[in-house]
Amino acid sequence: MTATSHYFATCAKGLEPLLFDELQQLGLEQVQQTVAGCRFESDCEGAYRVCLWSRLASRVLLMLGQCDVGRQLESVTQAISETLWHEHFTAEQSFVVSFTGQNQQIRHTQFGAQLVKDGIVDHFRQQGLDRPSVDRENPDLRVHAHLHKDRLTWYLDLVGEPLHRRGYRLEQGAAPLRETLAAAIALRAGVTSDTQVLMDPFCGSGTLLLEAAMIVLGHAPGLRRQSWGLQRWRQYQPQLWQQLINEAEQRFAQASERSQLTIYGSDNDPRMLGIADQNATRLGITDRCHWQASDATKTQAPSSTVGHCVMLCNPPYGERLGEEVETLLLYRRLGQQLRQHFAGWQIAILAGDESLLKRLKLRSHKKYKLYNGALEVILALYDMQKEQLEFTQEQSSDLANRLKKNYQKLEKWAAKEGLSAWRVYDADLPEYNAAVDVYNEHLVIQEYAAPKDIPPAVAKERLWYLLDTLAEVLPFPAANMHLKVRQRQSGKQQYQRQQLRHVITTVHEYNAQFEVNLSDYLDTGLFLDHRWARRELGRLSDGKNVLNLFAYTCTASVQAALGGAQQVTSVDLSKTYLSWGEDNFRLNGLPVRQHQFIQADCLQWLQRQPPQQRFDVIFLDPPTFSNSKRMQDVLDIQRDHVMLLKLAARLLKDDGVILFSNNKRKFKLDQEGLKDAFLRAEDWTSRSISQDFARHKGIHHLFKVTHHHE
């Protein structure tokens, strides 16, 4: 091997500039930054130093050869076989080949790796040696080949396990941060040997704090690793390597003696703090660490902190479905704490997207795009010594007052009525265009689609503002606030599954109980505005035969059965909702076998029924519009309501009653059409609007429809 060789240090996307600076600081020359790494030239000592000291590189690769890849792939195998592989490892050792890139001739990395492996094996055979074995799980040495356009380069990997595996972290949390990214965050945050205080209120297993501490204390990141690829390399120089290890140990000891560093880590999971302490022990810095189980939104700066103080944190991104509200409010409260208790600090926050950072209400002086695995993230830096916008309780006094007033009034009314599910706010102030419903100790926030003249960014900011205000003025924890986006409904959207969190609770409505799902669908399984109609249906059902069309989760059927109905027939297209309806019957102690649950297209089912007047009461609550793939007919309630009522009336006894409800805002009943069908309708809408919906009397329409024979 010549005095100097060509190397390539790989790194994660976004870390290339930092790696370039690091390699130069390590004394390397002719460093060239490229995509996902840096090329450099060095002697063996310099390469060893990069392996031991690089905080940012993933691998250090020694270039062994190059060739052009044309149509004759045999020439590729031949070129690879000309590399003196027997000088790098023996036939008794195992190896594995990784391959990246493609061109017209090599389109699959597995095929490319096979070509390289064949060339290596051919070389050993040409030397009269046995062929070395391939071990994909635990090889002695790793070979990497990269194809760029028509140029193939192959390397020997000097590190073995990737460099982010430092050797101190044996356990980790559910969302681990790779050590190389943690080191990059610390460097971008300005952590140096002069830093005196490090803090992370979301510390988990301590990776951010420990990587930053190694920078402060001059701890080589590879010092605790037990295994290196270079130690199994035939050209390994153990004395040189040990010399570098001794030098690193000495630097750490000297820096530790000088440094006044103190580390504060907190997390809401005590188990993770135990893991963090074990990791710190393996690094030999546990005496500097203070671990505490606490809520990050109540974080305060340690007392008597002086000098250069840095907070590094990686708060939750809210990626798991349904966590948006909790995460947004967490950022908002974190911003409050930072502003009020961390004057003079440097703050570095890794966030999933810009909208989360906006909730901090802080002015960032620098932002960087990085990658946490495959996920693009933003690192934002905040200098709390610079002027920050004065924190104010930004809740609109009108909005806060409206919410408090509504809640105080309606909570008493609901308790008196025997209701544990009710609406507290329904776009009372038009700029805050959402409905807010109470379900026991939960809130469901349903955002309406913004008018076309409102920019999406403005609508989003108003929604976040509403969420902030709800959290401030109503007694519900952020974890119990569930956000949904309600747009102009279509048949496809109306009952569509949204999430998979299964937040299920049982609510009370007068004498009934209903199971509601607060997370998995756009609607919860209970239309709150129809509660009066359900109760009236129960009053009409004693000893009667009842039909519930478009039954959904059969809540109206439950009220009919509780009201003494002889039999209730529930018809709906969805098997899921009918099963949910059966659960509602069981919840109320009602015998499921006594009643009928029919999965069918309601229009087709009505058309198939013979005109026998067998039902005393029919509850008809169709969607405004439906074009379900499983429904052959398209239903438009304004256009088709007379037809629908005529079909239902064929099954209604002479003295029977149809309760016809719909939610079309500007619905107009066709009285003439009904008259021609010998039906009469009485408008019951006003009496059916409960107090919590009195602010929007057009929430639904309800009619009592009967036969009318002149």
Same domain assignment for residues 196 and 306: yes
Query: pLDDT > 70: what percent of the chain?
Result: 94
Task: Provide the pLDDT for residue 489.
Answer: 43
AA letter at 552: Y
Same domain assignment for residues 700 and 619: yes
Would 224 be classed as within a structural domain? Answer: no
Distance, in Å, from the CA atom of 341 to the CA atom of 300, rounded to the nearest integer, reads 6
Grade residue 710 by pLDDT with cuts at 50, 70 and 90. low
Average pLDDT over residues 154-177: 88
Would 162 be classed as within a structural domain? Answer: no
> What ranges in 259-323 are assigned the alpha helix state H?
270-283
Task: Provide the pLDDT for residue 577.
Answer: 97
Would 238 be classed as within a structural domain? Answer: no
Which region holds residue 119: left if phi is over 0, alpha if psi is between -120 and 50, else beta?
alpha
Q: What is the CATH number of the domain that holds 41?
A: 3.30.2130.30
Q: What is the CATH number of the domain that holds 200?
A: 3.40.50.150
Residue 38 has pLDDT above 90, yes or no: yes
Residue 104 has pLDDT above 90, yes or no: no
Distance, in Å, from the CA atom of 117 to the CA atom of 132, rounded to the nearest integer, reads 10
Answer yes or no: are the C-beta atoms of 23 and 10 closer than 8 Å: no
Q: Which of 345, 343, 331 is nearest to 296 (CA)?
A: 331
Q: Which of 116, 46, 41, 51 is nearest to 85 (CA)?
A: 116
Rounded to 5 degrees, φ, ψ at 197 are: -135, 130
658-703 residue pLDDT tens:
999 999 989 999 999 999 999 999 999 999 999 999 988 889 999 9
Same domain assignment for residues 454 and 594: no
Task: Provide the pLDDT for residue 392.
Answer: 44
- The domain boundary, picked from 383, 406, 425, lies at 383
Residue 393 has pLDDT above 80, yes or no: no
Would 499 be classed as within a structural domain? Answer: no
Would 231 be classed as within a structural domain? Answer: no
Residue 460 has pLDDT above 50, yes or no: yes
Q: Which of 446, 445, 447, 443 is nearest to 459 (CA)?
A: 447
Q: Which residues contact 93 (CB under 8 A, 6 or more apart)?
A: 132, 140, 141, 232
Task: Provide the pLDDT for residue 499.
Answer: 46
Distance, in Å, from the CA atom of 549 to the CA atom of 603, rounded to the nearest integer, reads 9
Q: How many CB atoms neighbour CB 297 within 10 A? A: 18
Task: Provide the pLDDT for residue 654.
Answer: 93
Same domain assignment for residues 345 and 412: no
Cβ neighbourhood burial of 174 (10 Å; 0-12, 13-18, 19+):
exposed
Residue 391 has pLDDT above 60, yes or no: no
Same domain assignment for residues 150 and 274: no
Residue 63 has pLDDT above 90, yes or no: yes
Task: Provide the pLDDT for residue 157.
Answer: 98
Residue 390 has pLDDT above 60, yes or no: no
Distance, in Å, from the CA atom of 124 to the CA atom of 696, rounded to the nearest integer, reads 84
Q: Which residues contact 690 (CB under 8 A, 6 or more apart)?
A: 422, 528, 529, 531, 532
Answer yes or no: are the C-beta atoms of 280 and 261 closer than 8 Å: no
Same domain assignment for residues 210 and 343: yes
Residue 319 has pLDDT above 80, yes or no: no
Q: How many domains does the chain have?
A: 4
Same domain assignment for residues 308 and 376: yes
Distance, in Å, from the CA atom of 449 to the CA atom of 536, rounded to the nearest integer, reads 32
Answer yes or no: are the C-beta atoms of 465 and 447 closer than 8 Å: no
Same domain assignment for residues 536 and 674: yes
Higher pLDDT, 453 or 587: 587
Identify each DSSP E strand in 375-430 by its residue range: 375-383, 421-426
Angle at 444 between CA 630 and CA 622, to 5 degrees: 30
Same domain assignment for residues 292 and 421: no
Cβ neighbourhood burial of 291 (10 Å; 0-12, 13-18, 19+):
buried
Cβ neighbourhood burial of 369 (10 Å; 0-12, 13-18, 19+):
exposed
CB-side exposure of 109: number of CA atoms within 13 Å? 9
Task: Provide the pLDDT for residue 133.
Answer: 96
Structure tokens belonging to residue 624:
């405004």
Answer yes or no: are the C-beta atoms of 282 and 168 closer than 8 Å: yes
- The domain boundary, picked from 443, 464, 488, lies at 488
DSSP 617: E
Would 595 be classed as within a structural domain? Answer: yes
Q: Which residues contact 389 (CB under 8 A, 6 or more apart)?
A: 361, 362, 363
Task: Provide the pLDDT for residue 631.
Answer: 46
Residue 315 has pLDDT above 90, yes or no: yes
Cross-sheet strand order for the sheet of 262-267: 289-293, 262-267, 195-200, 308-313, 346-351, 375-383, 366-372
Task: Tell me the sheet residues that pair with 679.
Answer: 707
Same domain assignment for residues 419 and 314: no
Q: DSSP states of 574-592 as a string?
A: -HHHHHHHHHHHHHTT--G
Answer yes or no: are the C-beta atoms of 654 and 613 closer than 8 Å: yes
Distance, in Å, from the CA atom of 347 to the CA atom of 189, rounded to the nearest integer, reads 7
Task: Provide the pLDDT for residue 1.
Answer: 45
Grade residue 429 by pLDDT with cuts at 50, 70 and 90. very high
Average pLDDT over residues 330-341: 91
Average pLDDT over residues 11-39: 96
What are the respective helix, strand and coil percentages of the chain, to the nearest 5? 35, 25, 40
Grade residue 242 by pLDDT with cuts at 50, 70 and 90. very high
Same domain assignment for residues 546 and 596: yes
Residue 223 has pLDDT above 50, yes or no: yes
Task: Provide the pLDDT for residue 500.
Answer: 52
Identify each DSSP E strand in 373-489 by its residue range: 375-383, 421-426, 434-439, 442-448, 481-486
Grade residue 635 by pLDDT with cuts at 50, 70 and 90. confident
Q: Which of 348, 323, 334, 326 is nearest to 467 (CA)?
A: 326
Burial 62-80 (b: 16+ CB within 10 A, else e): bbbbebebeeeeeebbebb
585-631 residue pLDDT tens:
999 999 999 999 999 999 999 999 998 888 999 999 999 877 654 44
Task: Provide the pLDDT for residue 323.
Answer: 65
Rounded to 5 degrees, φ, ψ at 617 are: -135, 135
- The domain boundary, picked from 470, 488, 506, lies at 488
Q: What is the CATH number of the domain that holds 442?
A: 3.30.750.80
Residue 158 has pLDDT above 70, yes or no: yes
AA letter at 291: W
Same domain assignment for residues 353 and 409: no
When the pLDDT of each residue in the chain is averaged and rounded to a whole number, the result is: 92
SS3 category, 693: helix
Structure tokens belonging to residue 613:
């007047």
Would 620 be classed as within a structural domain? Answer: yes
Q: Which of 473, 393, 469 is nearest to 431 (CA)?
A: 469
183-212 residue pLDDT tens:
999 999 999 999 999 999 999 999 999 999
SS3 category, 502: coil
Task: Provide the pLDDT for residue 493.
Answer: 41
AA letter at 228: W
Answer yes or no: are the C-beta atoms of 51 and 230 closer than 8 Å: yes
Answer yes or no: are the C-beta atoms of 34 and 16 closer than 8 Å: yes
Would 141 be classed as within a structural domain? Answer: yes
Which region holds residue 37: left if phi is over 0, alpha if psi is between -120 and 50, else beta?
left
Q: What is the pTM of this model?
A: 0.78
Task: Provide the pLDDT for residue 496.
Answer: 46
Supply the range of the domain harboring residue 696: 520-707
Structure tokens belonging to residue 313:
């944190």
Grade residue 172 by pLDDT with cuts at 50, 70 and 90. low
